[in-house]
Amino acid sequence: MELRPFRALRGAPRFKERRPGLWIDRQVAQENGRPVVRSLLIGLVRVSEKAGVILPEESAPADAVSKRVGALVGTKSDSEPCLLSTRAPLAAALASTRAPDVTFTDEAGVRHDLIRVNDYAQHVELQGLVKSAEAAILDGLSLWEAAVVFSASPAAAKLPGARFKLCAIADERLLSESARRPEFPDGVLGYAFEDPVY
């Protein structure tokens, strides 16, 4: 799986990104009366048959994919992440004591501390961890399939970011420790297809 940093959409809530980056989403939720912390890695994953992402046996409904493709064509941007699980040992690599760049609480009461990965060595480490590890789509299959269709369309030919899909990536070991599946709200982070992808 090829992971790339991205530049957040212009006008994204509460911040303006200075340069492309990967993001850590440290989620704090209450489970059985105690706080549980889990982190996701937010970045761009190349969409192709060789992407290294395992898809479910069944495809997404054609009308859902068509609707998503229409949204991509119309906005030339992506702010709806797929959720992937990976066998890469991400949990330790995503641990951070840095103050978040952005903090918000979603509708389910989960606090999200967003930390931009600015350190080049950490970029390289995270990209190396996920590069050869198996990953599977847990949620957002129609989003992934729409990205694949759009990336091959004439409308995407001159858009560098059209070959990538915004994804939230979780360490599968952390997923097995909780009954609650992590989610990342749409529209908080995103990227414009005309922006360079690094």
Q: Strands 135-139 and 34-46, how do they pair?
A: unpaired
Share of the chain above pLDDT 90, in %: 53
Taking only the tens place, the pLDDT of each residue in 50-109 is 667 888 889 999 999 999 999 999 999 999 999 999 999 998 999 988 999 889 999 989
Q: Where are the domains of the chain?
A: 3-176
Which pLDDT score, from 0 to 100, does residue 182 have?
84
Which pLDDT score, from 0 to 100, does residue 39 have?
93
